[in-house]
A and B are shown apart, each in its own frame.
Chain A
Amino acid sequence: MKKSKIYLGIAIVAIAGFFTIAADHIDAPAVQGGTNDITDFYAFQGQNSNNLVFVANVQGLLSPTATAGAAFDENTMIEFNIDTTGDNVEDLVIQATARDGKMYFFGPAAPNQTGLNSTFLTGVTPNSVDITAYGSSAVVATNAGMSFFAGPRDDPFFFDFAQYSAIIGGTASGFNNPGSDTFAGSNVMSVVVEVPKSMIGGTGTINTWVESKRKQ
């Protein structure tokens, strides 16, 4: 493969999406830099292997000095979607939203309706946890085998985005070794919920994704 062709290919994509970066940090004009901007999504087996953990991070690239003033937007719903039947339509949701210093969690349960518009689950009592303040130890709430956390955390994402940008921009011919983590020393606002696998299908494979939704 000739390098010139590599550069050409990269340049084409560079034109397509130069200022969009990373896992999902500032991925699109309508959300970038706002309180609804999802930066990352994780789903993994918990310390207790009977449990699964969901992590949604929003508001990326917070400097330590900016973190104390960062807050969850009370007009935002963070919704974890779980497809247990393989059709990529959510069968279960876990909904989270902040109110007056607490993060409230609804579900997991079948949504009132699937798709782009959501309402909070009705007929259920939400769980809640105090939002951990910057500089304080993590506050964790537990109920019915579930655990809940909300607050600022170190951004767990790592990537030499600066060098990637240089490659895309045509000023570098490859990554460095070692690379440099562009996200080192930055924070995000995290929502973490751990649930028994028995609540989300029990066995097999699920398809899952996270959404941020704004109150109309």
Chain B
Amino acid sequence: MKFNNIKLIAIAVLISLTAYNCSDDDAPTGPTGPNFTGTYVQQDQMGRPAVNTVFVSSGSKDMFNTTIPSQQNAAYQAMFQTNLEALSPAYNTPTDANALGLTSAQFSGFLATDVLNVSLDGTTTFYDGTNVLTGRTLADDVITVELLLIFGGEDFSENPAFSDDHVDANDKPFLASFPYLASPW
């Protein structure tokens, strides 16, 4: 092959590359940003702690995670009541109630809609001895509160072996300011 032909081919390749690059540059102007398009489909959801874990029967847990809260009461109240009564002897009779004054039917009806109720007007806590279900802070001992409401009966005195796990605080102190959670181990 003659040197001139090689040069011609090189020029042709160069032109084609340049032309390709030019047309490529013409379409989007500026740098390409992140892509946020598309539809995202629900996998998991959570309102109050431990609800799906404790009250939803095996085999229904994925379905509970993909049932919107406004439809959860109709779909799950009966299951919650059955499981609550099976779990806790504090609800032996229909008139048995917990410290909130809720019977098994009422308590399960409350829990089946798995949202966290949060006050915008002051103290936010799952339970601090005074305020009840006005939010959830990092330090709230939510498991003991739930065990007391499940096992503790009308005055928190029933079934003491089951109504407190005696782990009352986190293993690392929380921060007073944003982002509040402790640094990782």
Flag B147-168 by CB within 8 Å of A: 1 or 0 each. Answer: 0000000000011111011111
Flag A167-192 by CB within 8 Å of B: 1 or 0 each. Answer: 10000011111111101111100101
> Are B158 and A22 interface neighbours, CB within 8 A?
no
> Are B136 and A42 interface neighbours, CB within 8 A?
yes
Which residues between 160 and 185 of chain B lie within 8 Å of chain A, taking CB atoms?
Answer: 160-162, 164-172, 174, 176-185
Q: How far is the CA of A6 from the CA of B158 in the complex (A)?
A: 12
Set of chain A residues within 8 Å of B43, measured between Cβ atoms: 30-31, 34, 36, 76, 211-214
Q: How far is the CA of A208 from the CA of B40 in the complex (A)?
A: 19
Q: How far is the CA of A17 from the CA of B86 in the complex (A)?
A: 13
Which residues between 90 and 122 of chain B lie within 8 Å of chain A, taking CB atoms?
Answer: 92, 113-122
> Are B36 and A204 interface neighbours, CB within 8 A?
no
Q: How far is the CA of A24 from the CA of B137 in the complex (A)?
A: 16
Max chain B C-beta neighbours (<10 A), residue from A10, A38, A88, A140: A88
For residue B42, CB closer than 8 A to chain A, the reply is: yes
What class of interface size applies to chain A in its complex with B?
Answer: 35 or more
> Are B116 and A178 interface neighbours, CB within 8 A?
no
> Are A153 and B183 interface neighbours, CB within 8 A?
yes
Set of chain B residues within 8 Å of A116, measured between Cβ atoms: 41-42, 66, 68
Set of chain B residues within 8 Å of A88, measured between Cβ atoms: 68-70, 113, 115
> Are B44 and A24 interface neighbours, CB within 8 A?
yes
Q: How far is the CA of A179 from the CA of B143 in the complex (A)?
A: 12
> Are B70 and A159 interface neighbours, CB within 8 A?
no
Q: B171 contacts which of A37, A47, A185 (Cβ < 8 Å)?
A: A185
Q: How far is the CA of A179 from the CA of B37 in the complex (A)?
A: 47
> Are B162 and A207 interface neighbours, CB within 8 A?
no
For residue B18, CB closer than 8 A to chain A, the reply is: no
- In this complex, how many residues of chain B approach chain A with their Cβ under 8 Å: the count is 83
Closest chain-A Cβ to B120's Cβ sits at a distance in Å of: 5
> Are B40 and A77 interface neighbours, CB within 8 A?
yes
Set of chain B residues within 8 Å of A197, measured between Cβ atoms: 120
> Are A159 and B185 interface neighbours, CB within 8 A?
no
> Are B86 and A9 interface neighbours, CB within 8 A?
yes
Set of chain B residues within 8 Å of A41, measured between Cβ atoms: 46-47, 49, 116, 136
Set of chain A residues within 8 Å of B37, measured between Cβ atoms: 119-120
> Are A44 and B34 interface neighbours, CB within 8 A?
no
> Are B65 and A28 interface neighbours, CB within 8 A?
yes
For residue B5, CB closer than 8 A to chain A, the reply is: no
Q: How far is the CA of A31 from the CA of B43 in the complex (A)?
A: 7
For residue B8, CB closer than 8 A to chain A, the reply is: no
Which residues between 24 and 66 of chain A lie within 8 Å of chain B, taking CB atoms?
Answer: 24, 27-31, 34, 36-38, 40-47, 52-53, 55, 62, 64
Closest chain-B Cβ to A13's Cβ sits at a distance in Å of: 4
Q: Report if A153-B39 is in contact (Cβ < 8 Å); known contacts: A9-B89, A176-B166.
A: no
Q: Nearest chain-B residue to A197 (Cβ)?
A: B120
Q: B174 contacts which of A114, A147, A156, A208 (Cβ < 8 Å)?
A: A156
Q: How far is the CA of A209 from the CA of B46 in the complex (A)?
A: 6
Which residues between 133 and 174 of chain A lie within 8 Å of chain B, taking CB atoms?
Answer: 134, 138, 140, 147, 149, 152-154, 156-160, 163-164, 167, 173-174
Q: Report if A22-B53 is in contact (Cβ < 8 Å); known contacts: A29-B62, A208-B115, A209-B114.
A: yes
Which residues from chain B sit less than 8 Å from chain A, CB to CB? 34-47, 49-50, 52-54, 56-58, 61-62, 64-66, 68-70, 83, 85-89, 92, 113-125, 134-138, 141-143, 158-162, 164-172, 174, 176-185
Could you list some 12 contacts between A and B, CB below 8 A? A6-B89, A17-B54, A20-B61, A30-B62, A38-B44, A53-B178, A118-B40, A149-B178, A192-B180, A206-B118, A207-B116, A211-B44
